[in-house]
Amino acid sequence: MIKPSIPKGTRDFGPAVVRKRHYIFQTIRETFELFGFQPLETPAMENLSTLTGKYGEEGDKLIFKILNNGDILGQAQMAKDSRELATLLCEKALRYDLTIPFARYVVMRQHELALPFKRYQMQPVWRADNPQRGRYREFYQCDADVVGSHSLLNEVELLLIYDRVFSRLGMQGYEVRINNRKILSGLAELIGKPEQLMDITIAIDKLDKIGIQGVEKELLDRGLSQQDVDIINNFLRIDGNNDEKLEQLQVLLQSSTTAQKGIAELSFVLNSGLAKFQSPPILDVTLARGLNYYTGLIVEAKAPPSVKMGSIGGGGRYDDLTGLFGLPGLSGVGISFGVDRIYDVLEELQLFPATAQQGTRVLFLHMGEQSLPAAFQYLMQLREKGVAAELFHEPAKMDKQMKYADKRGIPYVVIIGENELQENSLSIKNLQTGQQQKIKVEELAGFDFK
Amino acid sequence: MIKPSIPKGTRDFGPAVVRKRHYIFQTIRETFELFGFQPLETPAMENLSTLTGKYGEEGDKLIFKILNNGDILGQAQMAKDSRELATLLCEKALRYDLTIPFARYVVMRQHELALPFKRYQMQPVWRADNPQRGRYREFYQCDADVVGSHSLLNEVELLLIYDRVFSRLGMQGYEVRINNRKILSGLAELIGKPEQLMDITIAIDKLDKIGIQGVEKELLDRGLSQQDVDIINNFLRIDGNNDEKLEQLQVLLQSSTTAQKGIAELSFVLNSGLAKFQSPPILDVTLARGLNYYTGLIVEAKAPPSVKMGSIGGGGRYDDLTGLFGLPGLSGVGISFGVDRIYDVLEELQLFPATAQQGTRVLFLHMGEQSLPAAFQYLMQLREKGVAAELFHEPAKMDKQMKYADKRGIPYVVIIGENELQENSLSIKNLQTGQQQKIKVEELAGFDFK
């Protein structure tokens, strides 16, 4: 018999991990709800045609496809290459992100939805990426998007959501960095090569990894002149506080009306005075975000610098996402939380509260048939009070039962032996302190199993 | 452009439905936790070899397989039939139930788990069944299992979980029916054909659908004699209250030690006196449950008879599930909730509480730039108090903003016009009653948006 295993890049989540993940999800969900976002869930399987062509050529290769059921041999014989074979054999595929299913949903329900539609979605996605540290083939995304509104109030609200969630999680030192794609467009205009916007964006996006000289080289490789590169260099060296940066942008990009629009948008988001942030967003002109559908604000959330983790969330404004499915003209803006990375950050900084790790609070020892009815009665009494409690499943040596409590991390055991039975009392042992005390049965309901 | 759609048998869950489903999940989860069960989550994808052969030949056909990435054309050409082709092209498959992944997990983690291991799991599963009313290709299972204990206390606890969940959901008239596979084994022994236990089980399992004469015919078709059928008939006609039924079983099956063991187990579960049920389990000797791995208690939960729905949950004790993966000798017992059907029952009986359907409570109207800072400030104040609130995204006609609140089902709007701004007041309109009142801004934090 082969040793059982799971597919590479996937994970089992045991009890402790599920609880801690649940705490993160709950914090995010609660915030989404307070801000008026509504939950949506879409199927794990989408029609392959819904997904194909939406994530670039590289993305298409990483989509997990689901084999059609029934007779597939005949169809297989018609294929000329692997790609065609996959299309012949598969009509369905696994969700690759939450954005495309959201757009698909909006188009299907356009006549019943109240616009703007503010939805959040927290579900797993699947990608056939090569697994590595922090990168999995199955992972959760947590997205909030507003579709059907151009108002910059949405940008402000989404930034406040980041602020509230990271503050609530106790993640001191997190940073929310923002920029605007219109500024990058303006830059491309300034050097007279608007058609190379994507080349410029992709190169700048690598700044963190390859440094400014690497970006320079990449820009030259992508066909920009040394003069162009010098201008971009000046742009990347813009520095100071948010207001100082905005001023420098204003000067450098004054000839581009697109850039001016981007600067005005950033000004509003940073200086509207409407929102009070725990940790105000930072304007970062070098922020580019590779994905090409953004058209306005772009945002990236970063873990505290003491943790080597980088991005723990991102998003931006995109025009016309639903246009892909035949409903043009709807603008959208959204953010996403990287739950797996947030988990690692909280773990490293030991920020999970004790309550996020609590399971069973009390184990009733099984002291034999005689005291079983009493034990069961008090067990149920605690449960009715909302205290998670268990009874050891069989009479066994005290030592064995204690070991079970210990291994499970159950902090209290209740002992009802002959003495306790006669006295109508219970002995309660706190396994963390080793303290044991006897209480009257009437006191149980009020006892604090903290 | 093709109209977007989703694969047949799958569903989008919009906001109202997600909230109501969440309420069911929460009720079940809370109960599982109170009873000391621990959460587990396994990947959507399992190795195909983990799943194959575990669900019978019919089940194997219904497993959704995931196409390998990379070059598949070469391998495809080696296949002689569709089945072989699928095995050549697919290493992974979608989870078909939660039980096999659980068993696989227990075997992988056997050295670190505290036994008995009480786990719950609430995740979607996928089956390539033909979709029909109440049957989907993607649906959730909610399972609780105990593995590593023979104690009948587990049976009692699991029945109490059913009792608590259905009571909490307000589902008056639900029934929990139980039987024991050892009794069916005893019956097969009694007629001298223990090897036909599965035939007998499968025939009896259809009683609800085909009636007693149908069962008779099926038993004869499956090679039992008229004399055998008469005995089974007597068995199926056992009637009365639980104690009367136990007595009749005792008499009819006295020659079978296996049956006697089953009767003793049922006796304990029904008459231990440990548990107090809102709605005590009913002994139903005709309950068979088709799945063949059960070896002790079997249980089925039924919706109130006023709703034509049938089973809303089931389970039982199985020996040696982990033996499939090389770890023999672990006994397990578990139950499952049919969330989709429970949803339909609660909907039909209008049992979803108002709180399970609440989203945003308050919409601040956007009355123009002048009052925007005030509106935003009070908006944030409410959110800090835990009240889900929104601001309309742009200045627009009152009528349009009201329509949005109405379409979204938001019960209150707050209006800050020129007057309110001057007076430091807010106008609050209850859209359900039509009543509007003016309050001082200091009163907002204490206002009850119920």
A133-160 residue pLDDT tens: 888 999 999 999 999 999 999 999 999 9
Percent of chain A with pLDDT over 90: 86
Calculate the alpha carbon distances from A414 to A203, A366, B425 in Å.
64, 9, 56
Cα distance between residue A365 and residue A46, in whole Å: 50
Cα distance between residue A136 and residue B120, in whole Å: 24
The confidence score (pLDDT) of residue A1 equals 64
Q: Taking a C-beta distance cutoff of 8 angstroms, is the pair A120, A90 a contact?
A: no
Cα distance between residue B175 and residue B147, in whole Å: 25
Task: Identify the domain containing residue A399 by its residue range.
Answer: 359-446
Q: Taking a C-beta distance cutoff of 8 angstroms, is the pair A62, A96 a contact?
A: yes
Question: Is residue A342 exposed (0-12), middle (13-18) or buried (19+ Cβ within 10 Å)?
Answer: buried
Model confidence at A289, pLDDT cuts 50, 70, 90, reads: confident
Beta strand B175-180 with B362-364 is unpaired
Residue of chain B with shortest Cα separation from A379: B35
By residue count, chain A amounts to 450
Q: Taking a C-beta distance cutoff of 8 angstroms, is the pair A357, A19 a contact?
A: yes
Q: What is the DSSP letter of B130?
A: P
Per the prediction, chain A carries an average pLDDT of 94
> Which one of A233, A257, A285 terminates a domain?
A285
Question: Is residue B437 exposed (0-12), middle (13-18) or buried (19+ Cβ within 10 Å)?
Answer: exposed
Considering the domain boundaries, does residue B94 fall inside one?
A: no
For residue A26, what is the enclosing H or E element?
A: helix A15-34
Residues B190 and B275 in one domain: yes
Considering the domain boundaries, does residue B346 fall inside one?
A: no
Q: Do B124 and A70 touch (CB under 8 A)?
A: no
Considering the domain boundaries, does residue A129 fall inside one?
A: no
Contact list, A408 vs chain B (CB under 8 Å): 114
> Which one of A256, A285, A314 terminates a domain?
A285
Nearest CB to A40; choose among B18, B42, B76: B18
ipTM: 0.94
The confidence score (pLDDT) of residue A359 equals 93
Q: At B436, phi and psi to the nearest 5?
A: -125, 140
> Which one of A252, A285, A318 terminates a domain?
A285
Q: At A130, phi and psi to the nearest 5?
A: -70, 120
Smallest Cα–Cα separation from B22: which of A200, A12, A22, A205?
A22
Q: Which of A393, A408, A410, A414 to mutate to test the interface with B (most CBs of B within 10 A)?
A: A393
Q: Do B82 and A66 touch (CB under 8 A)?
A: no
- Amino acid (one-letter) located at A295: T
Considering the domain boundaries, does residue A235 fall inside one?
A: yes
Is residue A51 scored above 90 in pLDDT? yes
> Dihedral of the CA atoms A237, A179, A336, A206 (nearest 10)?
-30
Model confidence at A290, pLDDT cuts 50, 70, 90, reads: confident
User: How is the beta sheet containing B65-67 ordered, strand by strand?
Assistant: A45-47, A90-94, A65-67, B65-67, B90-94, B45-47
The confidence score (pLDDT) of residue A85 equals 86
Q: Taking a C-beta distance cutoff of 8 angstroms, is the pair B428, B437 a contact?
A: yes
Cα distance between residue A97 and residue A51, in whole Å: 9
Known binding-site residues of A for L-histidine equal: 97-99, 127, 141, 145, 289, 293-294
Smallest Cα–Cα separation from A82: which of B349, B229, B88?
B88
Cα distance between residue A332 and residue A296, in whole Å: 10
Smallest Cα–Cα separation from A318: which of A107, A118, A110, A99?
A99
pTM beyond 0.90? yes
Considering the domain boundaries, does residue B190 fall inside one?
A: yes
Q: Do A153 and B391 touch (CB under 8 A)?
A: yes
Q: What is the CATH classification number for the domain harbouring B387? A: 3.40.50.800
Considering the domain boundaries, does residue B72 fall inside one?
A: no
| pLDDT-flagged residues of chain B (< 50) | none
Q: Taking a C-beta distance cutoff of 8 angstroms, is the pair A224, A211 a contact?
A: no
Contact list, A159 vs chain B (CB under 8 Å): none
Smallest Cα–Cα separation from B165: which of B265, B268, B29, B58?
B29
Q: HEC string of B42-53? A: CCCEEEHHHHCC
- Amino acid (one-letter) located at A166: F
Q: What spatial distance separates the first Cα and last Cα of chain A, rounded to whole Å? A: 46
Q: Do A14 and B40 touch (CB under 8 A)?
A: yes
Residue of chain A with shortest Cα separation from B139: A43
Considering the domain boundaries, does residue A79 fall inside one?
A: no
Beta strand A138-147 with A331-337 is antiparallel
The confidence score (pLDDT) of residue A321 equals 87
Residue A177: count of CB within 10 angstroms of its CB: 18
Q: How many domains are contained in chain B? A: 2
Considering the domain boundaries, does residue B197 fall inside one?
A: yes
Q: Does B294 belong to an annotated binding site? A: yes
Q: Do A43 and B104 touch (CB under 8 A)?
A: no
Task: Return the structure tokens found at A305.
Answer: 């610098």
Q: Do A1 and B326 touch (CB under 8 A)?
A: yes
Cα distance between residue A269 and residue A278, in whole Å: 15
Q: How wide is the angle at C-alpha B99 spanned by C-alphas B95 and B103, nearest 5°?
A: 105
Is residue A361 scored above 90 in pLDDT? yes
For residue A38, what is the enclosing H or E element?
A: strand A38-39
For residue B317, what is the enclosing H or E element?
A: strand B311-319
pLDDT tens profile A231-287: 999 999 999 999 999 999 999 999 999 999 999 999 999 999 999 999 999 999 999
The confidence score (pLDDT) of residue A216 equals 94
The confidence score (pLDDT) of residue B291 equals 67
Q: Do B67 and A64 touch (CB under 8 A)?
A: yes
Q: From the CA of B306, how many Å to the nearest CA of chain A?
A: 29
The confidence score (pLDDT) of residue A135 equals 87
Contact list, B273 vs chain A (CB under 8 Å): 373
